[in-house]
Amino acid sequence: MRKYTSMAIGFAVALFAGAPLGNTSAGESSTRVIQLRDRWNAAELGVLASLRLSELPPTPKDPSNAVEASPAAIELGRRLFNDARFSRNGAVSCATCHDPKKQFQDGLPVGRGVGTGSRRAMPIVEAGHSPWLFWDGRKDSLWSQALGPLEDSVEHGGNRTRYAQLMGEVYRSEYDAVFETMPNLGDLPNDAAPNGTEAERAAWQAMDERTRKNISRVFANMGKAIAAYEKSLHHEASRLDRYVDGVVTGDPAGVEMLDPNEVKGLRLFIGKAQCVSCHNGPLLTDQHFHNTGVPPRDVAQPDRGRAAATAKVAKDEFNCLGPFSDANPQQCQELRFMVSDDPALEGAFKTPSLRDVVLRPPYMHAGQFTTLEEVVRHYVKAPHSAVGHSELTHIHPGSSKAGHAERAPIELSEGEIKDLVSFLGTLSGPSTGAPRKP
């Protein structure tokens, strides 16, 4: 595949340069000069080619989840994902905020489970490529991430003791087929958890260590099944992918996939609008954390983002190094080499994938912007951050001198803003999230 890509680009470059390829090792001797509608130089072609979904490597294996490739685990996870019994009011499932019919999100500024959350539900397709989960990366695996909302008081609002009993009642045979035989949990209180209400914490403390560990293991295994299901969800090719294929193979029909305004937007995206400096690669994200000065939803309590999350993930009992992980400590590299003391983490949030972005307003980590145009205008305006420091270069009125010497400000005309927004509409696939055979 890699070889094919390189050859295709080499061919395209020769086409654009008008140079004959001559006799090559692959036997491509003909010199077809096709005049494509859009011209890209070699540097731009390299960047474009790197954005294609076909360049996405297989999802990295998660050594902390031994069952993630098991079809039985995927099926169990799919059922758990959609089962609203795993909530305090019996009405909230993972699919409530991650609706499969809406690219696995809910279209709301902040999540709404049994209560109201403080951040936007994230898309989950291809989330297995991300070493850190949630906007602040407070979880280090998909399975550990899935456990967070289940016990969050405003999301599912339940607790692991209730869930473990429900697993025993409803999914025992499916559980036993994927994991070790479910332990006999004995006579348990309905509600008990180490992080719940005062009554739940007291009930948790009253149980013996062995019972607590058995309950937590069943709970952790629920997360592993849900993660297996989530990892089976993949994107389909977008118009951008077909356009770039057209450009690198010299296929005029492929080039027609984008209209001229969208192509102008693409030039800005990889050029002076600097979007690609964080939204890079086939998923259009660097999977890293950045402070771009997005205004907080609650000005009185600005969200510290990544800076407040590193301590949480480091001491999380469900992390890669914890007792419920299937990894050996050597394999937990992201956690072992995590950055936790960089001032740049203050007010920083994870770069989201832009695949399907036009289909899922509102935008940013707390749905602060209703439209993509507002998002683009934010990057042009580049306001100072309410917490920490924005990476963007802000130009003060009356001064042409940029505050941040290393990075050029993002300056776009009204027409360019429009073109960039129109380009962002080309990143959607036809059937997002459809399970695909590996």
Partner 1 sequence: MFRSIVSTLSLLALMGAAGCATPPGNLDLSLTHPSVDKKFVVALQPPATPPAINQIHSWQIKVSSPTGAPVTDARIAVDGGMPQHGHGLPTRPQVTQELADGTYLLEGMKFSMTGWWEIKLAIQSAEGSDKVTFNTVVTTPVAVR
- Applying CB under 8 A, the residues found at the interface with partner 1 are 2-3, 5-7, 9-10, 13-14, 22, 24-26, 41-47, 49-50, 55, 57, 131, 270-274, 276-278, 280-281, 286-288, 290, 333-334, 336-342, 344, 391, 404, 406-408
C-alpha–C-alpha distance, residues 300 and 302, integer Å: 6
Least Cβ distance, residue 95 to partner 1 (angstroms): 29
Q: Are 246 and 258 in contact (CB under 8 A)?
A: no
Nearest to 217 by CA among 325, 138, 319, 75: 325
Least Cβ distance, residue 320 to partner 1 (angstroms): 12
C-alpha–C-alpha distance, residues 126 and 139, integer Å: 16
- Name the burial class of residue 310, with classes exposed (0-12), middle (13-18) and buried (19+) by CB atoms within 10 angstroms of its CB: buried
C-alpha–C-alpha distance, residues 258 and 265, integer Å: 10
Closest CB to partner 1 among residues 2, 101: 2
Least Cβ distance, residue 280 to partner 1 (angstroms): 5
Closest CB to partner 1 among residues 6, 301: 6
Query: Tokens in use for 337?
Result: 């080499």
Closest CB to partner 1 among residues 272, 304: 272
Taking the CA atoms of 168, 173, 179 and 182 in sequence, report the sign of the dihedral they define.
Answer: positive
Taking the CA atoms of 76, 82, 88 and 90 in sequence, report the sign of the dihedral they define.
Answer: negative
Q: Which residues contact 35 (CB under 8 A, 6 or more apart)?
A: none
Closest CB to partner 1 among residues 193, 427: 427
Least Cβ distance, residue 8 to partner 1 (angstroms): 10
C-alpha–C-alpha distance, residues 319 and 148, integer Å: 12
C-alpha–C-alpha distance, residues 438 and 435, integer Å: 9
Closest CB to partner 1 among residues 188, 395: 395
The separation between CA 414 and the C-alpha centre of its own chain, rounded to angstroms, equals 30
Least Cβ distance, residue 198 to partner 1 (angstroms): 37
Q: Are 98 and 121 in contact (CB under 8 A)?
A: yes
Least Cβ distance, residue 295 to partner 1 (angstroms): 21
Least Cβ distance, residue 429 to partner 1 (angstroms): 21
Closest CB to partner 1 among residues 65, 221: 65
Query: Tokens in use for 123?
Result: 């898309």
β-pair type (289-290, 349-350): antiparallel
The separation between CA 332 and the C-alpha centre of its own chain, rounded to angstroms, equals 20
Closest CB to partner 1 among residues 259, 342: 342
Least Cβ distance, residue 28 to partner 1 (angstroms): 10
Q: Which helix (H) or strand (E) covers residue 349, if one does?
A: strand 349-350
C-alpha–C-alpha distance, residues 414 and 422, integer Å: 13
Closest CB to partner 1 among residues 3, 101: 3
Closest CB to partner 1 among residues 25, 173: 25
Least Cβ distance, residue 181 to partner 1 (angstroms): 35
